[in-house]
Structure 1
Amino acid sequence: MAYKTITQDKIIEETIKKSRFLCHMKRVSSEQEARDYIAQIKKEHHKANHSCSAMIIGDKSEIKRSSDDGEPSGTAGIPMLTVLEKQELTNLVAVVTRYFGGIKLGTGGLIRAYSGCVAHAIADIGIVEVKRQDGIQVELTYSQYQSFPNFLTSQRLQEAETEFSDRVLSTIFVDPEKSTACIEDLNEFYNGKVTTKKAGNQIVEVPMNN
């Protein structure tokens, strides 16, 4: 399991030719949750002219939906969805609410406005990769543990848990496809004089540059 989504829920506001655009971004886990959120936004902004939406749901982006909500066909929902697709995001919904300011934007202007609002919101919020990692428990002597930070730094890893008794038990988490190589590297680092065992797994969110 691995997918990309936004770091958090957030609302971003822009003014384009006197029209007020509010981009609501929310992480969701189901289509119903996304639809409930869209309904909530429409209720909160019932005086707005439009609340257009786009959603992608599923770890493999299985569900994709969009709505122009009264804007000319193809000028809002699909452009918004396209931005989410290009960023390879999923498990989120975007709702852009428009309060008309008196100046018509035209087809091209609407497409740029709605897609731009979503793109700007994503850039402001940031992206994380959500993935599962495998745990490895490492049993070390106290003298071995003194050099353990050097190994972690070289592998770009961090300790998740540490227990101190007659020996040191340290738990680290790595991507599943890297666990075997990590154990081999540990054995090489300590000349085969180290004990390791699997220690469950966890879901992590890794910030990405976007």
Structure 2
Amino acid sequence: MKTIALISQKGGAGKSTLARQFSVLAGEEGPSWIIDRDPQQTSARWHERRQDGDTPPEQPGLIDLGGTTLTAAVAALKAQPGTLFIDTRPAVTEPEAEAARLADLALVPVRPSLDDLEAIGATLDMLRRVKTRTIIIINAAKNERRAIEARAALSVHTAAVCPHHLADRAVYLDATVAGLGVGELRGAAAVAADAELRRVWTWIMKEAAE
């Protein structure tokens, strides 16, 4: 099983949103799972809402660690097919380092604001120390210009930066409330969000395979 950790010291960067949305896309190809290590449990609550319907989607599944350690849970899943997403707290202390060490890939969402761009250094320093392959994703961009400027600012770091960005869209909030992926919603806004999300996910999978 491929393990992907969503990590960022900055709160509100989009870790939980991307963990949920990417897990839905990964679930189209095979089993996908989420482990929610954020005390706010936003991904776990989204999954609960996802189970409320008459025919809840099979993917993704949610793993409750209970008394099990993250290391033990990941080890138990390692030989199985599919993709595991670890949603972490907005921090870069030992729990996040543990998730990074266990991951095949770390995804670092960052909003294209000065505050967020300046705060990303501590996250990347930790990931570099534990030697986890890292991809930065520009998330919630207000427009193309801000995304381009953010990519230029991030070019000073050694981590790969996804050449595609995710726009700031209200439909992600709708998907959160409904316990769905944006591609499972109707309407033009959902179609546009799904297209850009798939573009980013496809690039990530190609980059990770190299």
Instruction: Give the TM interval when normalised to the shorter protein.
Output: under 0.3
Per the normalisation by structure 2, the TM-score is 0.27
Per the normalisation by structure 1, the TM-score is 0.27
Q: Find the structure with the greater CA-based Rg.
A: 1
Name the structure where strand makes up a greater proportion of residues. 1
